Structure 1
Amino acid sequence: MQDEMLSVAQVSKLTGFRTQEHFTKVFRRIVGVTPSKFRERLTNKC
């Protein structure tokens, strides 16, 4: 998720999820925020 060159859809495919929606749901359940919000927070910390 730190590589801003990859979209969330690309990350979801690379990690084996069939859909971005499923990836987002699982990511949010584990991390507590959506992938987009996670990336936004990482960007703001730098």
Structure 2
Amino acid sequence: MIDLYQIVAEDKKITINTKLPDQLKIQADRNRIQQALANLLDNAIK
């Protein structure tokens, strides 16, 4: 998902850095997590 935003960010000279453990396990609604991440990235790149 972050790869999709990377192109837009690069056009605006913005770098997206991620620091995640190799095996991050969470129990959550996948769609809600994706929506929240998309909102954060959209707002950060604006």
Same fold (TM over 0.5): no
- Rg larger for: 2
Q: TM-score range by the shorter chain?
A: 0.3 to 0.5
Name the TM-score, length of structure 1 as normaliser.
0.34
Q: Going by fraction, where is helix more abundant, 1 or 2?
A: 1
Larger relative contact order (CA 8 Å, sep ≥ 6): 2
